[in-house]
Amino acid sequence: MKDILQKFFMVLGATFFIGIFFPQFRLGLAKAVSPILDPLLCLPIHIVILLLATFTALYSTLIQKFTVDYKRMREIQQRVMEYQKKYMKAVKENNQFLLKQLEKQKDEINALQAELMSMNFRSMFYTVVVTIPIWVWLWYRIYDIAEHGYHGLYSGVSQFMVTVPFRGLIHVSDPVIILPWWLFWYLLCSIFIGQIFRRIFKLGW
CB atoms within 10 A of CB 128: 21
pLDDT at residue number 85: 93
The residues pairing with 176 across neighbouring beta strands, listed in sequence order, are 179
**pLDDT(144) > 80:** no
Banded pLDDT at 149 (limits 50, 70, 90): low
User: If you write DSSP's letter for every residue of 28-42 in order, what string do you get?
Assistant: HHHHHHHHHHGGGGG
Contact 13, 146 (CB under 8 A): no
Residue 149, helix vs strand vs coil: coil
Q: Give the rounded distance of the alpha carbon of 205 from its chain centre.
A: 21
Higher-confidence residue: 193 or 119? 193
**pLDDT(36) > 60:** yes
